[in-house]
Each structure stands twice: as structure tokens, then as C-alpha cells.
A and B are shown apart, each in its own frame.
Chain A
Amino acid sequence: MKFAIQINEGPYQHQASDSAYFFTKNVLEKGHEVFRVFFYHDGVNNSTRLTTPPQDDRHIVNRWAELGAKYDLDLVVCVAAAQRRGIVDDGEAKRNGKDATNIHPKFRISGLGQLVEAAIQSDRLVVFGD
């Protein structure tokens, strides 16, 4: 089966990203396909490479990035939500005159159309959040 995953909450504050991670990892291990993981609302905060949790805690951002690398996942961060919350890549930094970037290279910033397309192309859209 082909899945699209939507994550609506930020890391650590909320379990949504953890649950989404385990769900995604498990469906992939069972041989299913994940068309895209889309980060929306505060979920965009799951993509900052500047995250530094205590050493004895899980690293939510790196964990997504590693899963992404292993399965060639499309990890997409909503541009409108990212702009509001200061998640920046090179393109956004140039466009909006910012002096820094913070997105992890395994993620990419794109539009809401990517969420809608994922919902159309997949058999199931699974939403994680409040």
C-alpha cells in the first residue's frame, strides 16, 4: 500500500512526530511505500539541523533524516508554515533576505500543493497531531 504521512506538531513538545516516525518506519519495513512525509503547522520544526537534545534523549530530526536516507524518503516542509516559524533553506534565505539557514539537508521546503498531491497519489493519508 502507498502511504502519505502528515505531521502537524513540533518535536519533543508533542508525541506526534515520534508516533509518525515509528509508523513510517514500520510500514516501510513491512514492504509498503511512503510517497511523501509532509511537515505542517509546528511540524516544520522537525526539520531544523540546529536541534541539540540531551545526549541520552532521541534525536528526532536526525532520526527522520536517517530514515529518509535509508529509504530515499521525500521529507517535505511546508513553505508557508516554515516562513512563519523561521525554518530556512538557501532559496528562502535569498528570497527573504535572511542571513542564515537552518534546514537539515535531508528535508526540502515546498508548497502545500505537495500535500494535496500526496493525498491524491497515495492509498492512505495518515495525519499525526492534536
Chain B
Amino acid sequence: MSEVVKKFMYLNRKAPYGTIYAWESLEVVLVGAAFDQEVSLMFVDDGVYQLVKGQDTAGIGMKNFSPTYRTLGDYEVKYIYVDADSLAARGLTQDDLVAIAYEDMDTEEEIENIVEVVDAARVTEIMDESDVVFSF
């Protein structure tokens, strides 16, 4: 759809419920897939809760959109990063997070889980390398 390919980063900073930022951010990612850009998602602060597995929203009467994250590999999302400090500060480890698979349509290369926990220095680096940061 577009000839320009930019490095897009969706920066997710908010818990999945409580405010609508996480859900509406995900909607941009899904729509954005049609534009064939190089897309990464970064989860920091309470945003790391978005990837926690086994979510149950029955008690708050809201749609559980957690399963959508597992399909992101089908929406041109190739890189998913989680800030290690944010995770540790909330008593979480990578075992608490969903796994997201990715298959490269051109090379048929399959990656079982693209969720990668990275340290603060790497977060800065990846952010710096991005052309566009969508902050939610």
C-alpha cells in the first residue's frame, strides 16, 4: 500500500483494563498491518500487564481482548519487546507472559515466540532506531 517502509514502534505503557488505551492501541496495530511497515511493539511500565497470560475479565464486564495479542504475528508484527525492569518491579517473569509466534510469509521461517525481554539500555536503543513511536 505504501512504498515507504519505516520502523514503527507501538509503545504500550498502560494496564490492559482501567483505561481504553491498550485496546485502542491494539486496534491501530491491527489496522496498521495493511501498510506493510516494519513493526515492533514495546511494553513498559504497567503496559507489561497486557501480555500476562490467563486473563479473566468476567468480573468487570469487559471484553477480554488478551487472545488478540497471540495473533499479532499474523499482523506483520515481527518484534515484541518487554522492559525487564518493569516486569521485575511487578513480580513478573517471562513465564507469566503469553507466547506469540511469527511466520515469515516470504521465507517460511517460523519463530515460536517473538516476545523478548530486554534491559533498559536495549529499550533506549530500539526506541532510538525507530522512525515513528506511537505512544499509548
Chain A residues within 8 Å of B, Cβ to Cβ: 6, 8, 40-41, 80-81, 111-113, 115-117, 119-121, 125, 127, 129-130
Given contacts A119-B132, A127-B135, contact A112 B31 (CB under 8 A): yes
Chain B residues within 8 Å of A, Cβ to Cβ: 2, 4, 6, 8, 20-21, 24, 27-28, 31-32, 34-35, 37, 132-136
Residues on the B chain within 8 Å of A119, using CB = 6, 8, 132, 134
Residues on the B chain within 8 Å of A125, using CB = 132-134
Given contacts A112-B27, A115-B28, contact A127 B35 (CB under 8 A): no
Residues on the B chain within 8 Å of A130, using CB = 21
A81 & B24 in contact (Cβ 8 Å cutoff): yes
Whole-angstrom CA separation of A80 from B28 in the bound complex = 10
User: Could you tell me the distance in whole angstroms from the C-beta of A75 to the nearest C-beta in chain B?
Assistant: 18
Whole-angstrom CA separation of A125 from B37 in the bound complex = 15
Given contacts A112-B32, A125-B133, A127-B135, contact A120 B2 (CB under 8 A): yes
B31 & A120 in contact (Cβ 8 Å cutoff): no
A80 & B27 in contact (Cβ 8 Å cutoff): yes
Further pairs besides A80-B27, A125-B133, A130-B21: 18, Cβ < 8 Å: A8-B21, A41-B20, A80-B24, A81-B24, A112-B27, A112-B28, A112-B31, A115-B28, A117-B2, A119-B6, A119-B8, A119-B132, A120-B2, A120-B6, A120-B37, A121-B4, A127-B135, A129-B135
Partner of B134, one of A113, A121, A127: A127
A113 & B132 in contact (Cβ 8 Å cutoff): no
User: Could you tell me the distance in whole angstroms from the C-beta of B125 to the nearest C-beta in chain A?
Assistant: 20
Residues on the B chain within 8 Å of A120, using CB = 2, 4, 6, 35, 37, 132
Residues on the A chain within 8 Å of B136, using CB = 8
Residues on the B chain within 8 Å of A113, using CB = 31-32, 34-35
